Amino acid sequence: MNIRRAGCGESRTSGSEGGPRKPSRRKPARAPRPDPYAKLATELRNRYLTLYVVLDLFSRFVLAWMVSAKENSALARQLMREAAQRYRITSGSLTVHQDRGAPMTAHRYFDLMGELGITLSHSRPRVSNDNPFSEAQFKTQKYQPDYPDRFRHPAHATAWHADYFDWYNFSHHHCGLAGYTPEQVFTGRWRRVAEHKQAALDAQFARHPERFVAGHPKAPAPPQRVELNPVTPEELAAGVSTAVNFPTLPAVVQKSTLSGN
């Protein structure tokens, strides 16, 4: 039996003044974001595996992942194509935010995203907190008590991460989701769970109202709006636009212009 440790590092982060605005979504499965890869140390010196992850921004649900012995654009394309097919993504319905690593800035990757009708958004150069949700997930992953210091081989890494992501999606009561699991928020099942919680709270309040000094308790709900770099009240007062600035790379701009002609 593996022991898992819940992480509470996920938080919202504001970007610097004047930076590009990032996706804002009210519904699940509309803003997955691969911060797509992390390096995994192996028992061989200077040899690393690559972990690709696609994370839903709204629910923190891990939509797809893959462990590979190498890092390249072909694998990133394979992962995104299979994820788009699995979740039946329709053209124009999805925005993907990612960092500026080589696989995510390759021309063939841009071409595939264009074919799938997926809008691209990229982190700003040298701004690490443009991807706080993925970074928090990786921190939760690497702070697990049974996380191996080094993996023996790709199969070992795949087996460990299969167990971890199953726990993360279905059993991890996420503090950034008001204690619900990513799967509950992704599927909307959290509402039924909230009803059971509210019934239990109502029963306890009826028995012992004196224990609830703040009044009748209410079961919490997960955030209904999730943002990357939200516009601050001060920026709104200064007249800063709330529009999302897509795309964020010159190469994407050029391809978008050519495809529109």
CATH number, domain with residue 220: 3.30.420.10
In a domain, 1, yes or no: no
The verdict on residue 63 lying in a domain is yes
Q: What angle do the packed helices 154-170 and 132-142 form, to 10 degrees?
A: 110
241: in domain: yes
Does some domain include residue 18? no
Q: Which residues of 80-92 are buried (b: 16+ CB within 10 A; e: fewer)?
A: beebbeeeebeee
| Average of per-residue pLDDT across 50-78 | 91
Mean pLDDT, rounded, for 85-91: 91
CA distance 174 to 144: 15
pLDDT of residue 255: 54
- Is there a domain that residue 171 lies in? yes
Q: How confident is the model at residue 141 (pLDDT cuts 50, 70, 90)?
A: very high
* CB neighbour class for 11 (10 Å; exposed up to 12, middle 13-18, buried from 19): exposed
Mean pLDDT of 189-214: 96
Average pLDDT over the chain, rounded to whole? 80
Q: Does residue 49 belong to any structural domain of this protein?
A: yes
Is 19 a domain residue?
Answer: no
Residue linked to tokens 């199953």? 166
Per-residue model confidence (pLDDT) at position 240: 64
Per-residue pLDDT band for 98 (boundaries 50, 70, 90) equals: confident
- Is the per-residue pLDDT at 57 higher than 70? yes
More confident residue, 74 or 228: 74
Q: Residue-wise over 141-158: b if at least 16 C-beta within 10 A, else e?
A: beebeeeeeebeebebbb
pLDDT of 45 higher than 80: yes
* Total number of domains in the chain: 1
Structural domain contains residue 13: no
96 or 31, higher pLDDT: 96
The one-character DSSP state at 230 is P
Output 159 or 11, whichever has higher pLDDT: 159
Of the ranges 35-49, 92-106, 230-244, the best mean pLDDT one: 35-49
Residue 29: predicted pLDDT: 38
Predicted confidence band at 33 (pLDDT cuts at 50, 70, 90)? very low
- For residues 26 and 106, the model is more confident at 106
Residue 21 vs residue 148, higher pLDDT: 148
pTM strictly above 0.85: no
Range of the domain at 55: 24-260
Q: What is the mean pLDDT of residues 235-248?
A: 61
